[in-house]
Structure 1
Amino acid sequence: MTLQELRRTGVRPVERVAYLLGAVLFASGLVHLVVLVVSGTTWEGPLSYRKAMTFGLSFGLTLATLAWVTSFLRMNDRWRNLLLGAFTAVSVVETTLVTMQAWRGVPSHFNFETGFDTAVSMMLAAGGGVIILTVLGFTVAALRTSSGLAPSMLLALRFGLFVLLVSLGVGALMIADGVRLARGGQPELAYTTAGGLKPVHAVAMHAILVVPALAWLLRFTTWTERRKTRVIGAVAAGYALVVAATWLVFG
């Protein structure tokens, strides 16, 4: 597809790259699912291929989703390219580092056994910080967008991005707590404690797909925009309750 064709279809070059690499990361996750099943190795613990699988699937899906939902936002093209480009690059780096450590047979996070492993762990933590900044940038853009979007879709985008920030905040807490424990000589406790918040992290992460996708599907109904917005508001409230309940159970 040429650049002119991309422009006619409304798909920006940076979004096309994000979709392509998102598909590659998702495929990597599927490959590691097969490896995990065929090898018969453990699904638990920091050395499992499950980490390579979940990072590939989650980052692949989230990258493609973010490219799609942010395409609705009115923002400066340079800022869009910078934010989405940074998120894309970090998604690839994070997944690659986790996958590399899985194949090396060593933990990817909270691993300070060697200088190389320490560098990997710190790069993963730094990558998390970049991800938070990029999503924060898109959230600000969504809050500043006040025209050109149906109210139901605008509400869905704002809610999805806000809950994604909550998910990333939970991830930051997991990393901070794990690093503290690992540096304190309790690496096993670090993996156990940090892992306890995974359900909250996962549930909150995918609101950015679920709620905007529903708002997009509602476009094909004959409902009034007011009714669509009420439905999205109710779904958002329900999703928030699910996240809160998950926190109460696993937090």
Structure 2
Amino acid sequence: MDRDAIHTPPVIAPALSAETATDLRPGGRTGASASTLWHAARPSERLGYATGAVLALSGLAHLLVFAVDGGPWYGPVSWRKPVTFGLSFGLTLIAVTWVTSYLRAGARTRAVLLVVFAADCVVEVAGITVQAWRHVPSHLNTGTPFDTVIAMTLAVGGGVLVVVLSAFAAAAFRHRPDGPLGMPLALRSGFAILIVALLSGAVMIARGVVLSRTGHQQAAYHSTTPLKPLHGVSLHAVLVLPALAWLLSRTSWSDATKQRIVHAAVGTYAAAVLGAGVWAALTW
């Protein structure tokens, strides 16, 4: 992290005063139109929002491809993968770009991390999409040299995701985030649960690689099934919980009511993640 800037509140645009920037941010006092927020955003934030939107649209487009082409929805070779990965990576990129604006982190460091994260999201979705159109598995597939390159690229990309998102999570816990009432708790909880998603994803890849290299290719493809609910549920807490805190900030409810709702939401989400973890353990 940029230690010289670590105590400086995030600024949306260099030309804006601190007070004006606070007003323009999603949790600001007066709020702002989407157009104003877009023009006030830094280049790295625009890149994150635009790239996330393209990835999400790619997922929706492949949902139409599935409707036309058909085929299985589940399994290592299906249109489900470009659909779910496009939507998940797109929404996650948009969410991370937004929520990290509340972190007390160096602006330059955050910009670099966001650009790396956006590029990695594109690489992950592109690799999965290419393999879907080739009608071959994307992960754990070493059938040909090209398949091996794709599989290894996806694995390395997963490692980059872990590093970048862990850096953001560390920043969230190192200094209390900015934002409206309830946002610091929502943001920290969202990042903590996101780490669960990263760990479960790493476990899926690791187990699949072991089975694949020991000659159990089909078992490798199916070994990820028990952890998929845990991975999917925990992945989007970083969007759902901060979004709830922001929505509550737009209401006229009392601070006590808002706090209770945020605490209840965090507890409910944590219970859902725990339930998915128990199910994974029982079906492993």
Any conservation in 2 of the 1:110–1:179 contact (CA below 8 Å)?
A: yes
Any conservation in 2 of the 1:6–1:12 contact (CA below 8 Å)?
A: no
What percent of counterpart residues are identical?
47
Secondary structure of the residue that 1:197 maps to in structure 2? helix
**Offset of residue 223 of structure 1:** 3.2
Letter aligned with residue 140 of structure 1: A
Distance in 1 separating the partners of 2:37 and 2:57: 27
Letter aligned with residue 146 of structure 1: R
Letter aligned with residue 209 of structure 1: L
**Which whole-Å deviations, capped at 9, do the CAs of 1:158-203 have from their partners, x for residues lacking one?**
0001111110110000000001101111111111111221111000
Letter aligned with residue 214 of structure 1: L
Alignment partner of 1:207 out of 233, 237, 242: 237
How do 1:74-113 residues align onto structure 2 when only pairs under 5 Å count? 74-113=104-143
Letter aligned with residue 171 of structure 1: G
Distance in 2 separating the partners of 1:179 and 1:112: 10
**Offset of residue 125 of structure 1:** 0.8
**Offset of residue 147 of structure 1:** 6.2
Unpaired runs of 5+ in structure 1? none
Letter aligned with residue 181 of structure 1: L
Any conservation in 2 of the 1:6–1:13 contact (CA below 8 Å)?
A: no
**Offset of residue 245 of structure 1:** 0.7
Letter aligned with residue 92 of structure 1: V
Alignment partner of 1:125 out of 143, 155, 177: 155
Any conservation in 2 of the 1:167–1:201 contact (CA below 8 Å)?
A: yes
Which residue is 1:241 aligned to?
Answer: 271
Alignment partner of 2:75 out of 34, 45, 48: 45
**Offset of residue 8 of structure 1:** 8.9
How do 1:118-197 residues align onto structure 2 when only pairs under 5 Å count? 118-146=148-176, 148-197=178-227
Normalising by structure 2, what TM-score?
0.83
Secondary structure of the residue that 2:211 maps to in structure 1? helix
Distance in 2 separating the partners of 1:140 and 1:163: 13
Q: Which moved more, 1:215-224 or 1:123-132?
A: 215-224
Count of residues paired in the alignment: 250
Alignment partner of 2:66 out of 36, 42, 63: 36
Normalising by structure 1, what TM-score?
0.93
| Structure 1 segments (4+ residues) deviating >6 Å | 3-8
**Which whole-Å deviations, capped at 9, do the CAs of 1:89-114 have from their partners, x for residues lacking one?**
00000000000011111111011112
RMSD over aligned Cα atoms = 2.0
**Offset of residue 224 of structure 1:** 3.7
Distance in 1 separating the partners of 2:274 and 2:92: 21
